[in-house]
Structure 1
Amino acid sequence: MIKSLLISSIPIPSASVILQTSVCSAGVKLKIEMTSSRSTLPMPFDWAGFLQKQIQEGKKLAQMMNMESNAFEDLERDKRRYEEALRILGNRSTTVFTLVLLPERLPIEETHSAIKGLRKLNIPVQALVENQCILPEVIEGNRFLASRAKLQARYMEEIDTRFGDLVRLRLPLLDRDVSDLSTLRKVGEMLYGE
């Protein structure tokens, strides 16, 4: 049985990442937090390939300059750690990768791009959380909310169509930020129950 730990759930106006990971019998926890916007961080990035290239080129340079080649041990250690993290993230029996998005055009496109990129790294995305969904009971004659809810409904339908193979959960638009532990617990209860 997988014991999941919710690491991060911060609503932002573009795709963000929630990582749930199991706690193994040895008590090892993997903590990874990612927040991405296409304009700020290309995701994902082949860090292992980049490090390998730096190590190879650095060793050649060190050899040409008659320097010690053990100066690259830190890079090699980082590369091994990165590869181990990818192995853990790609293990469906211990890790669930969940993307959070708003039911809007740009977050849908960013989510699609993130899923494709993560797939290239053999990291399966298994679920989506649609955040800040406007519920019918809060509209009550508010034309702005009614209009936004109608637009969201169209995007929610698109999300269902484009990402139909993933588990999809919906969170309502809250009247406060999810910025403290008690509110985060409430969000966890909304998503996963008690």
Structure 2
Amino acid sequence: MNQNIYLDLYRQQGALLEGHFLLSSGLHSDRYLQTALLLQHPEHAATLCRAMVERLPDDLRQAIDVVVGPAMGAVLVSYESARALGVRSLFTERQEGQMVLRRGFTLRPGEKVLVVEDVITTGGSTRECIRGIEAAGGHVIAVASLVDRSGGAADFAEIPFHPLIRLSVQTWEADACPLCAKGSTPVKPGSRGLK
């Protein structure tokens, strides 16, 4: 299916914003994806996550034992993706600056994990999640996201990456932002504080 159908869902729900934004990474951008506005509708969450996991190669999809996403943004993505695959859903959280499994969540040694995200910009949270999973004994076999806005920069070493939507969005360091140069002030619509 064409990714524009999924982008249209973002637009219809007011989840694809245009303006001047401060991202969690500290970068500035002229577009922002507020996936939570879309995922608040269970039918949209189910549709997007099912489409995302159905795009995985068959052998990879069948090997997945559990789906894990970093809190907060990927909790619903993990849940709906796991439901589509018929496996468990877990999430990692920050504890003392590290992404870890909490709340009694555990992985069996070598359990095969699909890491999911809502939106990937730099891949930093995803890499932290992968480290937390590996520390807990899991084996990450793939990463998937609803949106890849990294411009191809997200790198997870040898782990294959399968986004549903690839969105080309410009980002700038604060001191090189053309929007700031024009006198605009960025807004931070997301929920996570700066590092």
Q: TM-score by structure 1 length?
A: 0.37
Which protein is richer in helix relative to its size?
A: 1
User: Comparing both chains, which one has the higher relative contact order based on Cα–Cα distances under 8 Å and sequence gaps of 6 or more?
Assistant: 2
Q: TM-score by structure 2 length?
A: 0.37
Which protein is richer in strand relative to its size?
A: 2
